[in-house]
Structure 1
Amino acid sequence: MNRIFSGVQPTGNLHLGNYLGAIRNWVQLQRDYNSIFCVVDMHAITIPPHDPAELRRATREVAAGMIASGIDPDECIIFNQSAVPAHAELTWIFNCVARIGWLNRMTQFKEKAGKNRENATVGLYDYPVLMAADVLVYKGTHVPVGDDQKQHLELMRDTAQAFNSMYGVDFFPLPEPMIFGAATRVMSLRDGTKKMSKSDTSEYSRINMTDEADEIAQKIRKAKTDPHPIPETAEELADRPEARNLIAIYAALEGSETDAVLKNFAGKGFGDFKKSFAELAVETLGPIGSEMKRLTEDTTAVDAVLKKGAERAREIADPVIREAKEIVGFLKP
């Protein structure tokens, strides 16, 4: 049985990059796969300090964003990671399988830790092992990932293979990546060479999923472009990162290809393009933002979804962790 697992960190406002790069794809995948979608709150505390109250608020907001975008909690499982202890239990077993050399090659740790790596938490270093446990504790077979997560998925497959080999079993599957189209990596509206991020100090670098229509339109009007008209071919965008980014976002929101957008706007300036872009973004994101706000104001409803999802997740994960402990040789009490 094919099973998808994927998650989003509750580390601030959901933005357009989260929607196009992950959540929108999940909405489509839930129809064809046994799907588990997680608010990964354990990953969210790997970089201190964090505000506990803000973590709880953001966890609810991410869950609300999933539901508002069209993820159906009756069709799939939505829960927060910390509500299922098996994630942490399998992480320890995998810590005793994965190798230091594998983790030393992880480029994301180097980027997030910066120059002062000696001051980084063990949790940040061990992040990929927890990610492996997240997926494999449900025996996930497919993982929707962006380009920046492919290295973590390779470590996940290595860990599953090493466990199976170490204990002479065929227990954990080797998950396959699912990488989607051009908009999986949405770039900043202010700098087309940097990924859109909730940590960017400029609000104009991103469109938040809760932005009002006027805010969305204003951010698009102020988005960085260049003085040249829109070209006829994608090849002509190669050295124009801001233009390439806006065209890719438009195509993703419209559900079309870059070539179709270029054909429609070729020769025009970005003034005309941005008017159409703003209308499309407001039409797509406006209803999602409104529903998110309604859900975040009704914490009882969101908490009920997360509670039910955690119960369903534990029903799948608990037998897996029990058998993994049996394989390792842990004595049952």
Structure 2
Amino acid sequence: MRASETVGRGVREQEPPTFGDEERRTGRIAARLVEEIASGGLDLPLPGSGSTWVRWERLRDLAREDLSLARLAEGHTDAIAILSELGGWTPEPASVWGVWAAHPPGTPLIADKTGGRWRLHGAKPFCSGARVCTHALVSADVAGGERRLFAIRTDGTKPRPGTWASAGMAASDTLTVHFDGVGAEPVGRPGDYVGRPGFHHGGAGVAACWFGGALAVARPLAARAGRDEADAHLLSAFGAVDRELYAAGSVLRRASREIDDHPLDRSSAAVRAARVRAVVADTCTRVLRRTGEALGAGPLAGDVVYARATADLCVYIRQHHAERDLAELGTLVASGTWMSGADDY
């Protein structure tokens, strides 16, 4: 028998992996989210209200605890901010909201109006909190090629289990959701969701979650660096990580102040969000690499909190699209006024 056949047979005969623990973790995270909402822990200042850093600080701290929890909290609080900015439904007490607005290539989610009532048909991928959210803001295509935001109750939706393959961010319960005539109420006019300044403020707020995730990943390196036996190589790695985190934290704090100073300036909001996301995503990448190289495989194999934080962060920062988003940033700032804007730096 050839070696390749032996290996193949051995793989087939192994017990299939079980995900019961991840399912329990998903349940724990959902319960934790509901607890935070019920206790008022997610009654955060709105972006641009004068306390944007307080809002981001809370998201950062939740991310340092668990990135999947922070992802759900960010979605809930973003939905509340959108409803405040665009009008629409008044959130019911203890309701749990998500923002389901991804539009990857494929079959679009369609909204049509029949008998004076809007209904949604199709499927929407990347719906975080698919089984815990009681309500969601959902973007869908309408006649004429426009895209519009709708508020829904989720009791008529059908989350599809098994549509999230990665171990990273698994507890955020991010699934593809099917809609078969689900009733919907429009929020704002077509284009309002992405056309408002708050769209970019919310995008920068996601980076606060990434930042908290990077702090969680760096925690075991910081602990080891504080021991007497830490060598120069480990201390150098920790010094580099501290430099990156300090820079990213400073960028976030400055951005929060600028948002509070100019909450309705959409053009500056777009540039700011692109810069913040680029800086923080790059910091996360560097922290993941430096920490992983300094600590080796041991913590990944033996420290479940660190291993999950690493897996979660690797997935979450892929909301930043690397070179594509940098090209968009370059397009935004590459104008005749760039040199006169040196005060930005």
Q: TM-score band, normalised by the shorter chain? A: under 0.3
Structure with the bigger RCO (C-alpha within 8 Å, sep 6+) is 1
Higher strand fraction: Structure 1 or Structure 2?
Answer: 2
Structure 1 length-normalised TM? 0.24
